[in-house]
Amino acid sequence: MPEGDSVWRAAARLHAALAGREITRSDLRVPRLATVDLTGRTTLNVTPRGKHLLTRIDGDGGLTLHSHLRMDGAWHVFPAGRKWHGGPDYEIRAVLGTATDTAVGYRLPVLELLRTADEDKVVGHLGPDLLGPDWDAAKAAANLLAAPERPLGEALLDQRNLAGIGNVYMCELCFLAQVTPWTPVGALRDPEVTAVRLAGAAKRLLAANLGTGETRNTTGSRRRGQSLFVYGRAPRACLRCGTPVRRVVKDDRPTYWCPRCQSGPTP
């Protein structure tokens, strides 16, 4: 599942291609939007909200094309006339074109058109956005602490607590906190302080990776294969202690941890 930084970069690419330009081609390939024609309208902006993308369009009091990438959705931008690539044609769910560029959405599991005034219906449940103007570390920490019996990894992934963390950052944050992802939030050492520190660390990690493409770095190392502390490293050695990193998969979601550096319960 894309992390908040990936969605932020996707929004930036779409905004650069579409914002302020007239839509000259519109093709929304989901049944309930099949008859919608957005040609002649102007894209106002493309804004990320956690892992959601909000493409705002003028007319009718303001419209928003809401999309979510989930596991393998993607938006690609191509210069006008350039051949598209990103998957077979039958996986295309949306096409928005201007005189200069075309944005093509592949495998989008969520695509809906709503009034901009009604955006809260699809993103109003989200917690503070790690990369948004509404970021509030204290609020995010309070959300994490609201269910002290909940496993930390699960709480970090819950977008209602703080929006933007995916599996990679969840594993890395738990490593930095020196606890396993299955450790109850209330069992953290000094939970109130730790929750605030984790929220701050999450913000710094995502912000630091906005310009690095899909190769994330949480360690600060530029050595090949050492950009992440635990995610994707099993069964290689932990960068800190040398113990083999462990991995478990549940519901197609892999979780990584170091059995020596991270204390707490394990599956």
| Catalytic residue ranges | 2-3, 51, 253
3-class DSSP state of 230: coil
Q: What's the CA gap between 139 and 149, in Å, rounded?
A: 18
Length of the chain in residues, anyone?
A: 267
Q: What's the CA gap between 152 and 173, in Å, rounded?
A: 10
Six-digit token string for 7: 């969605």
- Tokens 């995010």 appear where? 140
* CB within 8 Å of 150: residues ≥ 6 apart: 184, 185
Check: CB of residue 258 under 8 Å from CB of residue 171. no
Q: What's the CA gap between 97 and 1, in Å, rounded?
A: 26
The greatest distance separating any two alpha carbons of the chain, rounded to the nearest whole angstrom, comes to 60
Check: CB of residue 64 under 8 Å from CB of residue 45. no
- Stretch (H or E) spanning 194: helix 191-208
- Tokens 């099949």 appear where? 34
